Amino acid sequence: MFLAIEASTRTMQAAAVLYTILWLFPLTAFPQVKPLKHIYVGVSSVSMGNIIIYVTKEAKLFEKYGLYADPVAMRGSGESSKAMIGGSIQIAPIATPTVINADLSGSDLVILGHTLPGVVHALIVKPEIKRVEDLKGKRIGVTTFGSLTDFLVRHILRKKGLNPDRDVALIQIGGDPERIAALKQGAIDAASLSFPGYGIAMKMGYSMLWDSAKEIEYPWIEITTRRAIIQRDRDLVMSYMKAHLEGTAVFKRDPEFGKRVIKKTLRVDDDELVRESYEIFSKAFLPTPYPNTKGMKTSFEYVAATRPEIWNHKPEEFTDRSFVEELDRTGFIKRLYEK
């Protein structure tokens, strides 16, 4: 009984202390912490092109701007676009032709920026394939139909005189690691790969048939969302843009941090490949990634092969430059590189 009385006394004393604190310092005296807005960020492929999403996550920049962001690995832009239209993800890098095709079908996807001026991709082939003509009857691995790798292979094959629907067999095979494994196992004869994927494959004895950047003018790694999301919560989208652009600045300014994220995310232990990856992409990422409407001409040409009505539209209809424009005009981007 004595113990029960003692416990009751302690409880009353604690309550009295709490009451006194609340009386002296009302709740308004304490800073109010706003809850983080939860968003899902689609990652069309876990690759160097999308490394900024993971840099931003590791540097806790999403939290800095009021977001809790979950990166979700997807299998190409085709899957990402369906997930975004369905509401499963809010932001993702979706290939420009995929955005255009979706919008021509009635969707409201919109490109906020192109973060790379050109594509870092190559077609890697078995050593016995020496010329483009040697691809006839061969199996080429891409991510998914409608993805960037699918777009690149089809466009460049047509440019070089082959019909991608008749002369080759395009096979959907996940990300770069899966396509490299498929090459090694003999399941495919060629694969469209980003860096360091194609660097790894070449070290294994495979050959580069073409460097996609030299074959095609194509602004790369779009930041894409839906117009409905912008209308519903423009601040959320602006917060994402601030975090992503600061992530780009951190990646460019801090080589050691950037390389650690590359190693962790891509699971690459080869220091030389990590260094090369960092050097290529840290220079290439654009600090001020306006939508590249001029560079979208290639995407229009590609879409026109199946949807000629695209020529009744302008690139600006599929973009919204207002976010980058505001961050540029207000000096936000400039300040990121003054630190």
Write down all domains in the chain, each with its CATH number in brackets.
Answer: 37-118+218-336 (3.40.190.10), 121-215 (3.40.190.10)
Residue 301's Cβ-count burial label (10 Å; 0-12, 13-18, 19+) is middle
- pTM for the full predicted model: 0.87
CA atoms within a 13 Å half-sphere pointing along the CA-CB vector of 333: 17
Q: Which of 224, 247, 240, 256 is nearest to 94 (CA)?
A: 224
Nearest CA to 123 out of 99, 157, 73 is that of 157
DSSP 8-state code for residue 30: S
Rounded Cα distance, 137 and 194, in Å: 24
Q: With b meaning 16 or more CB within 10 Å and e meaning fewer, what string describes 191-203?
A: bbbbbbbbbbbee
One digit per residue, the tens of pLDDT, for the chain of length 339 reads 333 334 344 444 544 444 444 445 454 444 557 899 999 999 999 999 999 999 999 999 999 999 999 999 999 999 999 999 999 999 999 999 999 999 999 999 999 999 999 999 999 999 999 999 999 999 999 999 989 999 999 999 999 999 999 999 999 998 999 999 999 999 999 999 999 999 999 999 999 999 999 999 999 999 999 999 999 999 999 999 999 999 999 999 999 999 999 999 999 999 999 999 999 999 999 999 999 999 999 999 999 989 999 999 999 999 999 999 999 999 999 999 996
CB 39 within 8 A of CB 225: no
Kindly state the DSSP code that residue 207 receives in the 8-state scheme: E
d(CA 317, CA 335): 30
